[in-house]
Chains A and B, each alone.
Chain A
Amino acid sequence: NAGVMQNPRHLVRRRGQEARLRCSPMKGHSHVYWYRQLPEEGLKFMVYLQKENIIDESGMPKERFSAEFPKEGPSILRIQQVVRGDSAAYFCASSPGQLTTNYGYTFGSGTRLTVV
């Protein structure tokens, strides 16, 4: 079991470019969560997805950010027209089923986005 796989580990983008972050959940997990961690801050929820469905996107900025989890392939977090304030670590987590209180998430190692 390879765990939650995120790539790339590091991503550098110039202002105005697009950033695509990928997350492959653990085997058997069908629920994916994206969190953002700004320097010296905690984890902030962004979006919760199941296969082909966005369940909760209450933490997503209204503009430039989008997420998908297609039937086949990894979940993608897309940031269009990146700005310096988007520089952060983006973590993906997965769980085997609907949110319950029986277990914590399994996080990936994150993608560190730097906007120059």
Chain B
Amino acid sequence: QQQVKQSPQSLIVQKGGISIINCAYENTAFDYFPWYQQFPGKGPALLIAIRPDVSEKKEGRFTISFNKSAKQFSLHIMDSQPGDSATYFCAAQAYGQNFVFGPGTRLSVLP
């Protein structure tokens, strides 16, 4: 129940396209859902996060869509750029608990 599932494992998108990464969870106690971006040789960096009281959050080209009833959330990267090529991790947290991370999606944006 602590698991966060993430798909796809890898994703190749053309420059200017939309990248979509999906995550699903079981634990209804989760109430905070961040996304992290990790470049090779670097630590994960917080990209964007959402709480379940909203269905969507947008920051620039990055949007989180949240479906509480389905226990799913997704990251959309609009107008994907080669500089977006990285590994993306979704995560979930219940209050007072540690974060649980998905296994990651390796995104490659072709020029």
Question: A44–B93 Cα gap in the complex (Å)?
Answer: 14
Q: Let me know if B31 and A105 touch, CB within 8 A.
A: no
- A-B interface pairs (CB < 8 A), number: 58
Find residues 62-111 in chain B having any chain A CB closer than 8 Å to their own CB: 89, 91, 93-104
Closest to B106 in A: A40
Closest to B47 in A: A104
Closest to B91 in A: A104
Q: Let me know if B101 and A42 touch, CB within 8 A.
A: yes
Q: Tally A residues with Cβ within 8 Å of B.
A: 25
Does B49 belong to the interface (CB within 8 Å)?
Answer: yes
Question: A48–B41 Cα gap in the complex (Å)?
Answer: 23
- Known contacts A42-B89, A56-B98, A104-B34; A91 and B103 CB within 8 A of each other: no
- Known contacts A43-B89, A101-B32, A101-B51; A107 and B44 CB within 8 A of each other: yes
Q: Let me know if A42 and B103 touch, CB within 8 A.
A: yes
The interface residues of chain B lying within 8 Å CB-to-CB of A35 are 101
The 8 A CB mask of A77-108 against B (1 = contact, 0 = none) is 00000000000000101000011110111111
Query: CB within 8 A of B42: which of A33, A103, A109?
Result: A109
- Closest Cβ of chain B: how far from A35's Cβ, in Å? 8
The interface residues of chain B lying within 8 Å CB-to-CB of A110 are 42-43
B→A interface (CB under 8 Å): 6, 31-32, 34, 36, 41-46, 49, 51, 89, 91, 93-104
The contact sample of 21 A-B pairs, CB cut-off 8 A, is A41-B104, A42-B101, A42-B102, A42-B103, A43-B89, A43-B101, A91-B43, A93-B43, A98-B96, A99-B93, A100-B95, A101-B51, A101-B93, A101-B94, A101-B95, A104-B36, A104-B99, A105-B99, A106-B46, A107-B36, A107-B44
A→B interface (CB under 8 Å): 4, 6, 33, 35, 41-45, 48, 56, 91, 93, 98-101, 103-110
Since A42-B89, A103-B46 are in contact, a sample of 7 more A-B pairs with Cβ atoms closer than 8 Å, ordered by chain A residue number, is A44-B101, A91-B43, A99-B95, A101-B51, A104-B99, A107-B44, A108-B43
